[in-house]
Structure 1
Amino acid sequence: MQRVTVTIDDALLAALDAHAARHGYGNRSEAIRDALRTALLGTDAAPAADTAPCVATLSYVYEHEKRELARRLAQVQHGHHDLTVAALHVHLDHGTCLEVSVLRGPAGEVKQLADAVVTQRGVRYGQLHLVPAGEEPHAHRDD
Structure 2
Amino acid sequence: MAVVSVSMPEELLNRIDEFADEHGYTGRSEVVREASRNLLGEFEDAKLEDRDLMAIVTVLFNYETTSVEERMMHLRHEHERLVASNFHSHVGPHYCMELFVLEGSLADISTFVGKVRATKDTLTVDYSVMPVDEFGPGAIESDHGHGHGHGN
TM-score range, shorter chain: 0.5 to 0.7
Q: Deviations over 1:52-82 (max 9, x none)?
A: 3201100110122215222222112211011
Q: Distance in 1 between matches of 2:101 and 2:66?
A: 26
Supply the AA of the counterpart residue of 2:76: Q
- Is 1:44 the equivalent of 2:79? no
Cα offset, 1:107, TM superposition: 1.2
Q: Distance in 2 between matches of 1:42 and 1:127?
A: 12
Max Rg structure:
1
Report the equivalent of 1:111: 110
Residues 48 and 92 from structure 1, CA distance in 2 versus in 1: closer, same or farther, beyond 3 angstroms?
closer
Q: Distance in 2 between matches of 1:43 and 1:72?
A: 23
Cα offset, 1:111, TM superposition: 1.4
Mapping of residues 1-143 of structure 1, within 5 Å:
42-46=42-46, 49=49, 51-134=50-133
Q: Distance in 2 between matches of 1:72 and 1:86?
A: 16
What SS is found at the alignment partner of 1:73? helix
What SS is found at the alignment partner of 1:44? coil
How many pairs does the alignment contain? 95
Q: Percent identity, please.
A: 17
CA contact (8 A) 1:54 1:130 kept: yes
Over 2 Å off, 4+ runs: 45-48
Q: Which runs of 5+ in 2 are unaligned?
A: 1-40, 137-152
Q: Distance in 1 between matches of 2:48 and 2:53?
A: 12
CA contact (8 A) 2:43 2:106 kept: no
Q: Distance in 2 between matches of 1:120 and 1:58?
A: 14
What SS is found at the alignment partner of 2:69? helix
Cα offset, 1:100, TM superposition: 1.4
TM-score normalized by structure 1?
A: 0.57
Q: Distance in 1 between matches of 2:66 and 2:98?
A: 18
Q: Deviations over 1:111-137 (max 9, x none)?
A: 111111122111110111000123xx9
Cα offset, 1:48, TM superposition: 7.6
Residues 57 and 108 from structure 1, CA distance in 2 versus in 1: closer, same or farther, beyond 3 angstroms?
same
TM-score normalized by structure 2?
A: 0.54
CA contact (8 A) 2:58 2:99 kept: yes
Supply the AA of the counterpart residue of 1:128: Y
